[in-house]
Chain A
């Protein structure tokens, strides 16, 4: 019960509350306007928060309860997983799950084939996915929905799982496998995994779910024809304490076998061991470790090379040659496997740089061929270059001089100095060789009586027929993969083999051999922060709506002040200081702003949901099919909502603070008199005149500039011209509205309406400005919409003239345009002819993330592309800018900036890199031309790169592009090509489908995904177009706010002019005519805004309209304008109702 004798208003706050209650209609309108601002800001921030949470949820969903993993570029033993399991028993993770994760192809009996990811593990349920996957049965697979839908398979259907036959020997070396070979197995689909839980498995955070096939390790091993080989160990359910990756790093204990190394007995006259690798060449890190551990106990490095031919004599004389022989590089003849001695038992010296020791068998064979040789005679070695040149092996020769002939004794008879090479050393006959390099079996003497080569093979296997200095061997066949094929160690010097192995292992870094610990969960969370700060982006996109909302806040608050100016006048008269009066108004405003902020925090998430739904739909249909899950609305976090509501509160208060201050500072008598000038800006005309003149000049200047500018620059310049025109026209409107009334009498109703607009010009101007700006933005942004260029084969365009992009699940060395390789690819003649008409550039690629704008996840490790001469010479794409390099040799500068990647003249400096501008600026935030940045080379070492060119966004968006040579230096462990660009512009359009099939066949074992360049470009462009569409939608919302402003202005104007309007009725105006007057006023405000906005926008979009890149969004304008005008007319009509405007003026 209120005690009337006690005051209810004891403080400024109390009075503000009392006045807010009394002025509730205006305060409610103000709260609504503040609510619009708060909803827009909170909603925009909530989009970012929701999307981040959605991406995070999706990324974590793809991992189940997997927290980290050990991943190998090569296979390692399942013993490594067993040791981790043992360690886990002491406070480690709940589960350690060995697995195989590989790119594969899956096909059906009908011939449909799709690239997919294989997850092989014996207990998928242990990975902690919800729902738990069904148990695996022998020879069966689980496939996920995307794979089942793509192939049209159901449970119990048969599928063929095909895995590329993997060789650990680098594909870029002659003994590495480049030609397609795969192993397949027919399996039965046990169940279809839904697109959640395990059905979303992926080691990389990605928004769309790729095809997945899950099977048991045993089945995978059968297909791989390897036992106990795994390339992944997952850690699940780490207890609180160290994180999983940390635990893995501290407990990871790879054995030599896990590194692909073997220290085992070697044959020879002396007991010895040899250290070899299944990669054939010991990596520099292993070589260094071996030198440190094995060197002191008598270990010696050796390098074996394959001589395609060893020739004695010259073409001018009689020639003798022996095909396919091994030659061993040595640094001592006192080898651990035995010494090299001549027939007299005398030790032989290590040959000099140009010398060679041949074995007795070879000397005898040359003699048998009629070309006996002796010490001092020349021998020519023909061999493959150690690294392929753009996927093709190249032969080279070396001429050496015989320095000795080794007896078939001791070290000369050790066959184990040559490591095993699949398809070579494991064959019974040299005629059965199935090497990865071009092999001419006709050169091999395998038919009696001339079966010398076969007999040597059967008797001595791969035992070297010659020995050269290790330095010479390294000069001839050393490469980025290493310079040693085996370390030989005398067994006598080793008392504890296990200790030696442990010493070797302790000196090896797992990363240096491709064994990495991946903090999968942490990376997923980091990546889910997103490539684009969507919250900020949408806030920027919504900035116009926020601005319109703030104008509305100002307008409504001004109306409130005007409506209550007499109350304020009394307070001022009785001695309220201006500041306190302003504070009272701000307090009342803050009540409304607070209500609005709360409303925004409640409605904002719903608004965010609407935006996300819109964004998700567009993204899934035009950018990345299957990515809808990433946009699945997750509630934003409370901190974001609080930040949004708080910001909205502050900006709303700032919008009304100036008005409050101005009102508080007005002379009390003005307020008491009720003059409108209390809240409108002074009618100074010079700023408007200056703005009008400046607008006209700026419009003219930028239009002329735009007409002279090319392409995108013209679009930008015209946009500026349009903005200047808008500012100028609005200044003109202000001048018109604020001009003194004409002295002539008002003769028409429209004239009266014009006079009435001049009574409160600021209000009329505010409404027209909101509508004009909204119209301008809705129309003008359409000029930035991207469309496919008319000529996709233009090499200077965003496709570079390439028609298709091929990505390989498994790096390949196959170049189908290479006729020497093509014959083995199983292509039909017409397919070969089609491929012949294509240009193909093979690109190397590091394992990394796609930094293109289509990837919603943040790029933690961008993919680096290595481009070779085919690509570099061809050039293409449009450079926005490139560095001018001062060439030291005064060679003329090239017109093709790509050449800078090939002709690097400062090997010690940073690696030159080219990126598209969007990736450099936004995706990776690296900066502009000349910026330097560092990337991990995959083994934990940072490499510095420098941006030497920026491309116009195109199909290579999202990659860091460097020269192939630099790529090989940066990623020495990476072999093969992971991507190809195909130019099939010479192939008739009707043959393109057939060509695609031919390419798929040629690369079938590399799990290729072939995407037309046009589709890739369209999906990249769709990102920008999606944001533009969002912007336009928000512009329409701004128009609606303008309409709300119209309604507010009209309602308030009517209430303020009740007296004069009633008089009009009293003197004979019908109600309809009074309405007509109000409608005319409203139409003038909205119409002015629409006309000015559209006129300025037309100028802004002119270049885009003329080139057909933009279309005037007539439908959007019609809807928006129609809606605004209709709403305005309805508001005016409602304001002029019979009940509002009495026929007899009321007295107070």
Chain B
């Protein structure tokens, strides 16, 4: 279960204090999916970063299956992300020098050499996203949609409990966006994981499931 309790985030800037998130609370049960929508600057990406233990909240707490990652050291938090969370970003952020398969396996390298089991899973995931013929291709040799599918496979390679996607289809055409979203939903669901997607696109949000809006840092009911 993912729990966010009274999460707020504010920054000091030259002009004063800016509150990005304001007392956000929600829970997400196992296998549940949530789409968060909202205008630019509403704090969607910040909320996702806090849920993904990438950024610490100013106040409030976040826990995944009862574990609050912000109570751990930076190294343990990194392992927490590695073992429990998968990320899909708006930009694919693939390593240009590595093949599609290698990119998928990158999270596994965080703790040591890649095991044959993980390699098999990575290969399976790429087949699932329709890239069985592109395993050895580098990002520069793939289309935008293919790159994002590789990114999806990378997010899922270690079977995370939670997948966080930040505008995963923001740079894709609508058809490709639908494909990628479906794959994300399907593959997350197959593993029994939770999915949180931040998006501007109503169609994407609809495919995810539950939709909540974030306006001026507050999560509407």
The CA of A15 and the CA of B103, in the complex, are separated in Å by 10
**Residues of B contacting A579 in the complex (Cβ-Cβ under 8 angstroms):** 75
Q: Are B95 and A18 in contact (CB under 8 A)?
A: yes
In the assembled complex, the CB of A743 is this many whole angstroms from the nearest CB of chain B, namely: 9
Residue B154 at the A interface, CB < 8 A?
yes
Tell me how many residues of B have a C-beta within 8 Å of chain A.
41
The CA of A770 and the CA of B113, in the complex, are separated in Å by 41
**Residues of B contacting A571 in the complex (Cβ-Cβ under 8 angstroms):** 106, 110
Q: Are A10 and B114 in contact (CB under 8 A)?
A: yes
6 more A-B residue pairs beyond the given contacts A567-B95, A672-B89, with a C-beta to C-beta distance below 8 A: A3-B136, A4-B137, A9-B114, A566-B91, A570-B95, A668-B54
Question: Given A8-B99, A9-B98, do A575 and B89 touch, yes or no (CB 8 Å)?
Answer: no
Q: Are A4 and B101 in contact (CB under 8 A)?
A: yes
**Residues of A contacting B93 in the complex (Cβ-Cβ under 8 angstroms):** 566-567, 569-570, 672
Residue B18 at the A interface, CB < 8 A?
no
A8, A572, A667: the one within 8 Å of B102 (CB): A8
Q: Are B91 and A1148 in contact (CB under 8 A)?
A: yes
In the assembled complex, the CB of B51 is this many whole angstroms from the nearest CB of chain A, namely: 12
Interface, chain A (partner B; CB < 8 A): 2-12, 15, 18-19, 21-23, 566-567, 569-580, 665, 667-669, 672, 1148
**Residues of A contacting B168 in the complex (Cβ-Cβ under 8 angstroms):** none
Q: Are B109 and A15 in contact (CB under 8 A)?
A: yes
Q: Are B78 and A577 in contact (CB under 8 A)?
A: yes
The CA of A575 and the CA of B136, in the complex, are separated in Å by 24
The CA of A687 and the CA of B11, in the complex, are separated in Å by 26
The CA of A3 and the CA of B123, in the complex, are separated in Å by 13
Q: Are B97 and A22 in contact (CB under 8 A)?
A: yes
**Residues of A contacting B113 in the complex (Cβ-Cβ under 8 angstroms):** 10-12
Residue B81 at the A interface, CB < 8 A?
yes
Kindly report which residue of chain A lies nearest to residue B151, judged by CB atoms.
Answer: A570
The 5 closest A-B pairs by CB, nearest first: A575-B82, A4-B136, A22-B97, A575-B81, A9-B102
The CA of A665 and the CA of B75, in the complex, are separated in Å by 9
Kindly report which residue of chain A lies nearest to residue B96, judged by CB atoms.
Answer: A22
**Residues of A contacting B38 in the complex (Cβ-Cβ under 8 angstroms):** none
B52, B80, B98, B135: the one within 8 Å of A15 (CB): B98
Per-residue interface assignment for chain B, residues 73 to 105, with 1 indicating a CB less than 8 Å from any chain A CB and 0 otherwise? 011001111110111010101011111011001
The CA of A577 and the CA of B72, in the complex, are separated in Å by 12
In the assembled complex, the CB of B108 is this many whole angstroms from the nearest CB of chain A, namely: 9
Q: Are B74 and A578 in contact (CB under 8 A)?
A: yes
The CA of A12 and the CA of B106, in the complex, are separated in Å by 9
**Residues of B contacting A672 in the complex (Cβ-Cβ under 8 angstroms):** 89, 93
Question: Given A11-B113, A669-B54, do A573 and B106 touch, yes or no (CB 8 Å)?
Answer: no
Residue B49 at the A interface, CB < 8 A?
yes
Q: Are A578 and B96 in contact (CB under 8 A)?
A: no
Residue B217 at the A interface, CB < 8 A?
no
**Residues of B contacting A10 in the complex (Cβ-Cβ under 8 angstroms):** 105, 113-114, 119
A7, A12, A569, A577: the one within 8 Å of B101 (CB): A7
**Residues of A contacting B193 in the complex (Cβ-Cβ under 8 angstroms):** none
The CA of A672 and the CA of B135, in the complex, are separated in Å by 25
Question: Given A5-B135, A579-B75, do A573 and B87 touch, yes or no (CB 8 Å)?
Answer: yes
In the assembled complex, the CB of A1111 is this many whole angstroms from the nearest CB of chain B, namely: 52
**Residues of A contacting B99 in the complex (Cβ-Cβ under 8 angstroms):** 4, 7-9
Kindly report which residue of chain B lies nearest to residue A15, judged by CB atoms.
Answer: B109
**Residues of A contacting B101 in the complex (Cβ-Cβ under 8 angstroms):** 4-7
The CA of A567 and the CA of B52, in the complex, are separated in Å by 18
Q: Are A576 and B82 in contact (CB under 8 A)?
A: yes
Q: Are A21 and B97 in contact (CB under 8 A)?
A: yes
Between A and B, 15 residue pairs with Cβ closer than 8 Å are A4-B135, A5-B101, A5-B135, A8-B99, A10-B119, A21-B97, A569-B93, A570-B93, A572-B78, A573-B54, A574-B81, A575-B80, A575-B85, A672-B89, A672-B93
Q: Are B122 and A667 in contact (CB under 8 A)?
A: no
B49, B106, B114, B119: the one within 8 Å of A574 (CB): B106
Q: Are A576 and B95 in contact (CB under 8 A)?
A: no
Residue B107 at the A interface, CB < 8 A?
yes
In the assembled complex, the CB of B56 is this many whole angstroms from the nearest CB of chain A, namely: 9
Question: Given A11-B113, A575-B82, A576-B78, do A669 and B95 touch, yes or no (CB 8 Å)?
Answer: no
Between B74, B91, B98, B109, the greatest number of chain A beta carbons within 10 A of the residue's beta carbon is seen for B109
**Residues of B contacting A2 in the complex (Cβ-Cβ under 8 angstroms):** 136
Kindly report which residue of chain B lies nearest to residue A668, judged by CB atoms.
Answer: B54
**Residues of B contacting A577 in the complex (Cβ-Cβ under 8 angstroms):** 74-75, 78-79, 82, 110-111
A11, A21, A574, A1148: the one within 8 Å of B87 (CB): A574
Q: Are B110 and A18 in contact (CB under 8 A)?
A: no
**Residues of B contacting A23 in the complex (Cβ-Cβ under 8 angstroms):** 97
